[in-house]
């Protein structure tokens, strides 16, 4: 990806860049808030009402203090605040390819095109890193119909439904696998 970009109808002051160790706390806070808002009913109440932030700080601390060629994270930033992020784990599945593990946009800025641009930036980076294997996929909760509509608007196809989990804190729920056979389609659409 380019180091910093702005795009289309997205608020002009938003930039997209690679995440660094300095983003751990901001990403963890956004992630915890988004789980609490959107994942109730799938994740256990006891977990969501507890210390989700500590759980997410441990996860993001691990990811961002140990940069690896096998994964990458891109953030959307507005006035020095993280307002969205996407994380990709390369070559996760032999059949479906790279896993898009997390994509979240801060609640007040949803429907401004930030999620789509994060997806496009992630797809561009995947194409750059894996020019010969550009497949990717993700899991979305069956209850999360808004995210499913978003992914379908961005060219994803629902290919499988299964019981997912156990999630952090416990619990299981139905989820859909959404897949993209070639990330370059997303990049080309947005060009
Ligand atoms: C899902 C999410 C990442 C989408 O990001 P976003 O910035 O809000 O989405 P965008 O503005 O880029 O939307 C692009 C297109 O997707 C579709 N879309 C997005 N949200 C939608 C919704 N709630 N309902 C129907 N379609 C939707 C629309 O076609 C939209 O284009 P439009 O606004 O011009 O109509 C964001 O809403 C989010 O963080 N949700 C909570 C966390 C979450 O569920 N993450 C996914 C986990 S698998």
* 45-96 pLDDT tens trace: 999 999 999 999 999 999 999 878 899 999 999 999 999 999 999 999 999 9
| Amino acid 2: pLDDT | 43
Mapped onto helix, strand or coil, the DSSP state of residue 15 is strand
On the CB side of 137, CA atoms within 13 Å amount to 19
Pairing type for strands 81-93 and 71-78 reads antiparallel
Whether residue 169 has its Cβ less than 6 Å from ligand 1: no
Pairing type for strands 136-141 and 97-105 reads parallel
Which whole number is the average pLDDT over 109-120?
97
Band (pLDDT 50/70/90 cuts) for residue 11 is confident
DSSP state of 137: E
Domains of the chain: 14-190 (3.40.630.30)
Whose C-alpha lies nearest to ligand 1, atom 19? 150
Q: How many residues does the chain have?
A: 191
Whether residue 103 has its Cβ less than 6 Å from ligand 1: yes
Whose C-alpha lies nearest to ligand 1, atom 2? 115
């Amino acid at each position: 990806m380019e180091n910093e970009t702005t795009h289309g109808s997205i608020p002009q002051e938003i930039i997209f860049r690679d995440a660094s160790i300095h983003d751990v706390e901001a990403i963890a806070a956004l992630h915890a808030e988004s789980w609490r808002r959107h994942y109730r009913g799938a994740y256990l109440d006891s977990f969501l009402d507890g210390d989700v932030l500590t759980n997410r700080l441990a996860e993001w601390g691990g990811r961002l203090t140990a940069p690896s060629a096998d994964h990458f994270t891109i953030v959307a930033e507005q006035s020095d605040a993280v307002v969205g992020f996407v994380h990709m784990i390369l070559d996760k599945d032999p059949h479906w390819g790279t896993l898009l593990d997390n994509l979240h946009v801060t609640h007040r800025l949803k429907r401004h095109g930030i999620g789509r641009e994060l997806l496009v930036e992630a797809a561009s980076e995947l194409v750059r890193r894996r020019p010969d294997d550009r497949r990717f996929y993700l899991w979305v909760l069956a209850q999360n119909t808004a995210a499913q509509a978003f992914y379908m608007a961005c060219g994803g196809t629902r290919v499988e439904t299964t019981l997912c989990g156990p999630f952090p804190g416990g619990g299981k729920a139905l989820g859909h696998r959404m897949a993209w056979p070639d990330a370059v389609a997303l990049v080309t659409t947005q060009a």
